[in-house]
Structure 1
Amino acid sequence: MSATHDYGSVDESIFPVSKPLMKFTAKNLTTGEVKFANDLPAMQGQLYAAVVLSTEGNANIANIDTSKALEMPGVVTFIQASDIPGQNNWKPASMYGPFKMELLSSGSVEYAGQPIGVIVAERENLALEAVKAVQVTYKDIKPVIVDVLDAIQQKSFFDILATHTQGNAAAALESAPHRVTGNTRTREQCHFHLENQTAICTPSGVGGMNVFATTQWIDATLGTVAQVLGIPEASVTVEIQALGGGFGSKLLYNLPVAGMAAVAAQTVMKPVKLHMDLHTNMQFQGTRQGYYYEYEIGFDNNGKLLAIVATGYCDCGFSFQPECEEHMFNYIDSAYFCPNWSWTVQPCKTNKPVITYMRSPGSATAIFAMESMIDHIASYLKKDHLEVRKINLFHNGDTTLNGMVVEHCLAQDVVKQLETDINYADRKKQVEDFNKANRWRKRGLHVMPCRYAMMYTTLKHNTSVIIYHGDASVVIAHGGIDMGQGINTKAIQTCAYKLGIPTDKIHVVKSSSIMNANSDFTGGSTTSELICNGIIKCCDVLNERMKKSRQSLTNPTWAEVVAKSYTDGVNLTSQYWPEKLLDGYSCYTACCAEVELDILTGQYQILQVDYVYDCGTSLNPELDLGQLEGAFVMGCGLFLLESMTYDPVTGKALTSGANTYKTPLTKDLPIKLNVKFLRNIPNPVGVLSSKAVGETPVSIGACPLFALKRAVETARAEMEVEGWFPFHAPATVEKIEQACLNDFSRYTLQNEFTKNSTICSSS
């Protein structure tokens, strides 16, 4: 592999902000000095929990026989729904209202993998063995629904239908010169974070509970523990030192893990650790939602959009989640303007875990659906795919489906920059020449633009900056969670810039419910900016407080300013809570992918990916580059490789481990990956002119899929089959080979030593 990167604009006036720096904890993480939840030494008397999961997906529990498990030496107890002292509901009512979720099944089983009970034992391996000894029998077993297409056929819908309109789609569709109908779909994707869900709960001795959790949302974890124990939230403390990845799963699914561990700890009045092994984690935990889309599009002779009428069927799992509709609605139009829309989301009920947030939730699949629709138009008109995309790009003043007026639009800029950088016309010609010269190997080239709307909705975080007068060192405490994205590094850079001190004078303490009460979740690539904004506000207050003391000194050092301020009675602690939300904005990007495909096997190689991203003035280009590359690879997994498979009889997840669930590996990565951040285009509404980067590239992971489709189209054309065809995600090797329509009856095997013959030829 090889790669190039262009960090774009670096603003020396705000150094160390915008300077490409390695994460300050990178070496500590590499050497193992940073302790994650599963690394912490056992406390005195600590016990271990393991979860009994249901093996049926649509039934009622007839009996739970724990006798064999409890006879095992070292097994302490078994906990079931009736043992929960508070509410049997792991969704905090203050945050989720009527949307409830049982911590442990009270009788009805909605999916295979649903928690039924908890074993507590003296050793972790013993707890896992005891789980196998618990015998659960079922009654009223019914057929399961594990595919969204089956849910549609059986009308297994939630009675919540959302339709959004713009203009008059029906009339515009009727009068359009051209109309096409089609469909596409995406499947579930597992988070596959390196660190599985974990919680360590310790009774406080005064009726409370101390929790060390792998969570992206401390406030929700606190609310869950208090709710299931039936105690005040003020009696619970939650803290986290480091998080080994989350991608959204630890925003929601750490809540039941912490809840089960807390109930176990309260029952035995000892510390209890619950660590979900990978198999259990994937059986019990929800995934990215799968979607099936149906659409009808109206357009003119040039391919310009006139009307779209579309429905997205969302696989919600066994309970409705309002997030599925919201995220689709805000992102479905991607980078393309259509004056007339009718967009409907139909939530579907299946016997699977409830869907949860996953990096670029809803938006990645919505953007894929929109890209598929534009692709359909270009194929129908037999026009250049890039040209059709370009004439439909947003411009300043256009209105998106969710009513946002587009400002500071860079959709054309990123595409133009990419075309120039890669010499698009020459690259396209080279691909065409290669395809003419090769019968069994085909190349595809595709350019995909994207617009990603950054919206802060109601997200707020508590931020504090504290200066110690003794040595003038500084501590930052914030309500965000560093899960690998480098939020703490950006926080230190921002604080160093505002206070004018070296970064090594600043330390970030672990997040906790005491220091950072009431903070919202970390997710959506919003938190780094929100925390940095909070630090700016705190530092502004501190600088103003110390101004008089500073002015009384001549060319003082930082330590002298702090010492004088302390002597003068200055408060050296500043805390910020946002009174209003930050303004939203859009991120723009364009990507070109070139692939080479063996049409006889479906095997392929991503030869080159070129990426132009609108990053504003990056807070830290080194970290943003890593986020971009990682998100892009995750998108490649979503659109090319990853898929959950379920037993059609029981509903059990069959792909619940690394041996059956395939994520991208080194051979799946592009041979060349070139990334450029746009230069000299600061974000006028961003924190220090920056833009977020962690979500958008997931959607762009679809670009290699469409490049493969270009290669498949060439192969089909040589088989005298032309026209549009659906190309669903993930486009696995098997699906690609089948799409090539290889007709082996037309192939003849010849003697390779025969003059002027080939091993294979098309007869």
Structure 2
Amino acid sequence: MTAPLDPHAGADLRHVRKSLPHDSAGKHVTGTAVYIDDILEPIGTLHVVPGWAREAVRGRIRSMDFDPVRAAPGVVAVLTAEDIPGHNDCSPSIGGDPVLADGEILFHGQVVFAVIAETRAAARKAARLARIEVEPQTPIVSVEDAIAADITVLPDYQFRRGSPETGMATAERCLSGVFHIGGQEHFYLEGQAALAVPGEDGAMLVHSSTQHPSEVQHILGKVLAVPDAAVTVEVRRMGGGFGGKESQANQWAALAALAARATKRPCKIRLDRDDDMIMTGKRHDFRVEWSVGHNETGRIRVVDMDLFARCGYSADLSLGVVDRTMFHADSSYFYPDAAIRSRRLRTDTCSNTAFRGFGGPQGMLAAERMIDAIAISLGLDPLEVRKRNFYDEARNLTPYGMPVEEWRTLHAIVAQLEKDSTYWDRREAVRGYNARNHVLKKGLALTPVKFGISFTLKHLNQAGALVHLYTDGSVQLNHGGTEMGQGLYQKVAQVVADELGVTLDKVHITATNTSKVPNTGPTAASSGTDLNAMAALNAARTIKDRLIAFAAERYQCDPKQIAFHDNRVRVGSREVPLAEVARAAHLARIHLSDAGFYASPKITWDRDSASGRPFLYFAYGAACAEVTVDTMTGEMVVDRVDILHDVGKSLNPAIDIGQIEGGFVQGMGWLTTEELVWDEHGRLRTHAPSTYKIPTASDVPEDFRVALYDSPGNPEETIYRSKAVGEPPVMLANAVFCAITDALASLRPGRLPPLDAPATPEAIMRAVHAMKAQEAPA
């Protein structure tokens, strides 16, 4: 059920649409926010550390000797696959993810055993004493290796519209290329962690740093061979997730729970940063083979694209991730004819997983690469080519058949940013700068964002919430969403406070807990607020409706004369404290609690037939980036960034702007500095801050201008007409990559720089040398 909302409502809102602080902001800056490792440990808590075959890469296990481990000081027990009472699998989907390796090492870093000790230090030292012999096999590491071996984790899939073959044959011009897009490490500040406390009759309470408590509950039920109802999973907050704790948290919670079951004592696991990076999945990296047919003005006639994804050793979430890459391979552009194909390749590396944007950034970047290629080959400004290919009134159907109903918003945002950023004046300035400078080259790009909001698995588009009104007028709020710093708890609390007419200090936010709200979906796909705030609103509204009916009878007045505000209830011409009304209602046996529910409407996607509507709506945005590239060293500086982003009617502008800033910088890191490197043996070489470069404060553009688009509101009936903001800002960073491409293109006008992502200094220098080695086009 959807709560009816007037799109113009909100003039008298006290909390919604206000820039209120994050509910944990004070705790964050003072260091008092409690994460898994900060929870007071119960007496007798043991510590769990995963063990692995450090010298082995891929192969059959010949022998395992754990006697030196068991004999080490402080060690209580060692767990192997034989100690798992239920299913040895922690997969979120189709299986193939053992909690502990069983007979075979599938990738370098796979967990073979777990050490349980009195202290974490003792467990870490003991884990290195294991003797594991493996019969080595030659690993499949790269996308190219997997293509040659023709090995996948899932069947191939495609979208097809029109006749791409005819379109390519009849197009005035054709271009093609190969583009590599790198992966990305989540690098959450709080690593993977869990604390398991055993209870009576096989019950288990697990504090987990997870985005998907219900999935952890379900996995633990299978692994421990107990009913789901015997497992309670709780999470108050995470120190970052970014998708890395949607499915990847399962294994570590399972190891903590298995240890607690085996020892009958509380057990905690917290991964070392190196182990975390080696053992857990990343953003999928891709090889993109593309062809595009277009006319002399740059308007696209046909697109043919093959997306080859490195998925790792198992499917994990690769079905949905790569599907979303395909959904966003159009970016903001209309393709009259299209063939978009995908292959989910199996490699002997960690299983890649969800990452902010869930495959969308890779698809959109591939589309922007094609636009740049068209513009450069024709000698046109890329912004003009982008605008000529935008969805519009006559050309508004995606390659998967969903209409782009809100195309005017896309046009309006780009037009406003084009003006506000003085794009054309700066374009002339960039040309002049590059003509005067032979070593330093400037680049400029303005790129759009169109990102679909909803889970493409229909059943995930639902949420529950539990709201209690107590007789003192205070409110307790619980829902299925998890807090990882994005401000979800704060936004939902604002909604409930306004609906019940209480001040925000009266709303007590409680930890997400599977015993309070069951069968929840993950906090992912940018849908946390859309789903959970609406469920909480429905619960609060039900309680309020009961109170209105009660008050109307008690005070003998028209229900329309009853209003809630500032912890009071206006009843006709008098005002009564809400606590007084709540106490009276309780004495009259009126229920002051409700379990609200919400399911997103209109989602009709059928994957088998590749038809329907996978998204409720699109979020839009645009970014203009200016960079300076040193062609002698490959160093690059982002000089200025202008962003205009669409969040509908913002529930909390301050939090939304923070999400936009953070998402952009994270995307910029993915495209410029964050390079994952595996050697030919399948060992991850970039597994620590010393070898893997995330953006820091000094990488944030000195001139960084972020504004919210003055939206009339989401045309869909979302919570107070807001729009999701978690993932779309990541793709604003495409402007930086395209600006680097623009700078390098000035070296050889008419030639597309052979630049892959990320555009590290090394990648930039490779492209510079390749450009300088080319002959000028005829």
**The two structures share one fold, judged by TM-score above 0.5:** yes
Aligned twin of 1:104: 100
Deviations 1:198-255 (A, max 9, x none): 1111210322211111111111111111111111111111111221111111111110
Structure 2: distance between partners of 1:338 and 1:443:
31
- Asked if 2 retains the 8 angstrom alpha-carbon contact of 1:105 and 1:116, the reply is yes
User: Superposition pairs for residues 345-360 of structure 1, below 5 Å?
Assistant: 345-360=342-357
705, 719, 734: which is aligned to 1:674?
705
Which residue, out of 690, 694, 703, partners 2:735?
703
Q: Deviations over 1:613-672 (max 9, x none)?
A: 1111001010011111111111011111112111312x1211111111110122322111
Tell me which amino acid in the other structure corresponds to 1:110: L
> Residue 737 of structure 1: which of 739, 756, 765 is its match?
765
Q: C-alpha offsets along residues 350-399 of structure 1, whole Å, 9 cap, x if unaligned?
A: 11111110000110001000110111111111111110000000124611
**Residues 394-416 of structure 1: CA distance to partner in whole angstroms, max 9, x if unpaired?**
12461112211111221111110
What letter corresponds to residue 719 of structure 2 in structure 1? V
Identify which of 233, 240, 262 aligns with 1:238: 233
Query: Could you tell me which amino acid in structure 1 is paired with residue 668 of structure 2?
Result: C
Q: Is 1:338 equivalent to 2:338 in the alignment?
A: no
> Which residue number corresponds to residue 263 of structure 2?
268
Aligned to 1:137: 133
Say which of 544, 560, 564 aligns to 2:580. 560
Match of 2:410 in 1: 411
Match of 1:146 in 2: 141
2:695 to 657, 664, 669: 664
Q: Aligned AA for 2:201?
A: V
- In the alignment, does 2:366 pair up with 1:365? no
C-alpha separation between the residues in 1 aligned to 2:233 and 2:199? 12
1: CA distance between counterparts of 2:20 and 2:154? 50
SS of the aligned residue for 2:256 comes to: helix
Q: How does 1:336-735 map to 2 (within 5 A)?
A: 336-396=333-393, 398-409=396-407, 410-456=409-455, 457-459=458-460, 460-469=462-471, 471-551=472-552, 552=555, 553=571, 554-578=574-598, 581=601, 584-649=616-681, 651-685=682-716, 686-717=718-749, 722-735=750-763
1:306 CA drift (Å) = 0.7
CA contact (8 A) 2:741 2:753 kept: no
The answer for the alignment partner of 2:607 in structure 1 is none
> What is the alpha-carbon distance in structure 1 between the residues aligned to residue 632 and residue 302 of structure 2?
39
Amino acid aligned to 1:468: Y
Per-residue CA distance 1:33-71 (angstroms, 9 max, x = gap): 221100112211111111112332320111111122221
Task: For residue 582 of structure 1, report the CA deviation from its aligned partner.
Answer: 6.7
Shift in alpha-carbon separation, 1:288–1:744, aligned structure 2, 3 A: closer
Q: What SS does the corresponding residue of 2:312 show, helix, strand or coil?
A: coil
C-alpha distance in 1, partners of 2:9/2:240?
28
- What residue identity is the alignment partner of 1:734? E
Look up the match of 2:43: 44
Query: Which amino acid in the other structure matches residue 353 of structure 1?
Result: C
Runs in 1 of length 4+ with deviation above 6 angstroms?
A: 742-745
Aligned CA distance change for structure 1 residues 158 and 573 (closer, same or farther; 3 Å): closer
Name the residue aligned to 1:162: 157
Counterpart Cα distance in 2 of 1:742 and 1:256: 45
Is the Cα contact below 8 Å between 2:308 and 2:344 reproduced in 1?
Answer: yes
Q: Distance in 2 between matches of 1:373 and 1:239?
A: 45
Deviates more, 1:672-681 or 1:503-512: 672-681
Letter aligned with residue 382 of structure 2: H
Residues 126-162 of structure 1: per-residue CA shift (max 9 Å, x gap): 00000111111111x1111221122223333346111
| Equivalent position of 2:78 in the other structure | 78
Using the TM superposition, name which of 472-481 and 563-572 deviates more. 563-572
Residues 169 and 341, structure 1, Cα contact 8 Å, conserved in 2 = yes
Counterparts of 1:611 and 1:11, CA distance in 2: 26
SS in 1 for 2:687: coil
TM-score by length of 1: 0.93
- Secondary structure at the aligned position of 1:586 is classed as strand
Shift of 1:715: 2.9
Task: Determine the C-alpha separation between the residues in 2 that align with 1:680 and 1:286.
Answer: 37
Separation in 2 of the partners of 1:361 and 1:676? Answer: 25
Q: One-letter code of the match for 1:426?
A: D
Q: Distance in 1 between matches of 2:771 and 2:299?
A: 36
Q: Does residue 305 of the first structure (1) align with residue 291 of the second (2)?
A: no
Matched residues in 2 for 1:516 and 1:177: separation? 58
The answer to whether the 8 A contact 2:154-2:319 is kept is: no
Q: 1:175 to 1:561 in 2, by over 3 A?
A: same
- CA pair 452-288 structure 1, distance change in 2 beyond 3 A: same
Report how far residue 184 of structure 1 moved.
Answer: 0.8
Residue aligning to 2:563: none
- Match runs of 1:291-330 below 5 Å: 291-320=286-315, 321-330=318-327
Question: Secondary structure at the residue paired with 1:404?
Answer: coil
The match for 2:566 is none
* Alpha-carbon distance between aligned partners in 2 of 1:633 and 1:580, rounded to the nearest angstrom: 30
Q: Structure 2: which 5+ runs fail to align?
A: 1-7, 556-570, 604-615, 774-778
Task: Give 2:776's aligned residue.
Answer: none
Would the alpha carbon gap of residues 724 and 743 (structure 1) be closer, same or farther in structure 2, given more than 3 Å must change?
closer
Aligned to 2:198: 203
Q: Distance in 1 between matches of 2:600 and 2:41?
A: 43
Larger mean CA deviation between 632-641 and 539-548 belongs to 539-548
Quick one: distance in 2 between partners of 1:72 and 1:680? 63
- Asked if the contact 1:53/1:284 (under 8 Å) is kept, the reply is no
Give the 3 Å change call, closer, same or farther, for CA 100–577 of structure 1 in structure 2.
farther
- Contact conserved, 2:495 with 2:533, CA < 8 A, in 1? yes
Contact 2:178/2:287 (8 A) holds in 1: yes
1:416 counterpart SS class: helix
The alignment's C-alpha RMSD in Å is: 1.8
Superposition map of 1:87-126 within 5 A: 87-91=87-91, 96=93, 98-126=94-122
Amino acid at match of 2:184: Q
Kept in 2: contact 1:87–1:228 (CA 8 A): yes
Q: Which runs of 5+ in 1 are unaligned?
A: 1-8, 746-763
- Structure 1 equivalent of residue 606 of structure 2: none
Number of the residue aligned with 2:568: none
Deviation at 1:602, TM superposition (A): 1.1
Find the aligned partners of 2:9 and 2:360 in 1 and give their Cα distance: 30
Find the partner of 1:249 among 211, 233, 244: 244
Deviations 1:539-579 (A, max 9, x none): 22112101133331532232232223223321110111235
In 2: Cα distance, 1:150 partner to 1:725 partner: 25
Q: 2:751 and 2:724 mapped to 1: Cα distance? A: 38
In the aligned structure 1, how far is the partner of 2:215 from the partner of 2:68? 36
* TM-score, with structure 2 as normaliser: 0.91
Offset, 1:25: 1.8
Quick one: distance in 2 between partners of 1:738 and 1:36? 43
Counterpart for residue 25 of structure 1: 24
